[in-house]
Structure formats: C-alpha cells, structure tokens
C-alpha cells in the first residue's frame, strides 16, 4: 500500500482480488473506509504485485498462454 496526495495504491497478488475491488460498488466502499481512516477524501488505485517468478521464467524463454 502507498499513499500519495489523495490517491491510495493497493497492491494485490492475484488478479481476481484486484478485479473485485475495482468493481465500482466495492471501490466506493473501500474509498469511504480509507477516507474515514485518513481523515480526508481519497481515491483508490489498484495494481498487481510484481511477480518475480513470472519475470524469471520469461527471461528463460517461457511464454504466456491464454
């Protein structure tokens, strides 16, 4: 988690969790809770954690298959 000005960045390990928080109704709830905690309005920005194992595999020639 990082806070810069009025933006709170939340890092998630799995895409599913990021996607759930990014749903507008869930994002509003999270923003309201964090705003109450910080004492001022804020916005939430969701990111995925860097996956060092994936990066290492890609460097060794692995390919991502959907």
- Reported as a single tens digit per residue, the pLDDT across 6-65 is 999 998 988 999 999 999 999 999 999 999 999 999 999 999 887 767 677 778 887 777
In DSSP notation, the chain reads -EEETTEEEEEESSHHHHHHHHSHHHHHHHHHHHHHHHTS--EEEEEEPP-HHHHHHHHTT-----
| Residue 24: half-sphere exposure toward Cβ, Cα within 13 Å | 0
Tell whether the model's pLDDT for residue 66 goes beyond 70: no
* pLDDT, position 3: 86
Neighbouring CB atoms inside 10 A of 27's CB total 16
* pLDDT, position 26: 97
* pLDDT, position 32: 97
Neighbouring CB atoms inside 10 A of 5's CB total 7
């Amino acid at each position: 988690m990082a806070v810069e000005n009025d933006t709170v960045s939340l890092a998630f390990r799995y895409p599913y969790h990021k996607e759930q928080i990014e749903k507008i109704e869930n994002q509003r709830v999270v923003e309201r809770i964090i705003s109450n905690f910080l004492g001022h309005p804020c916005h939430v920005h969701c990111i995925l954690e860097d996956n060092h194992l994936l990066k290492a595999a890609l460097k060794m020639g692995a390919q991502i298959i959907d």
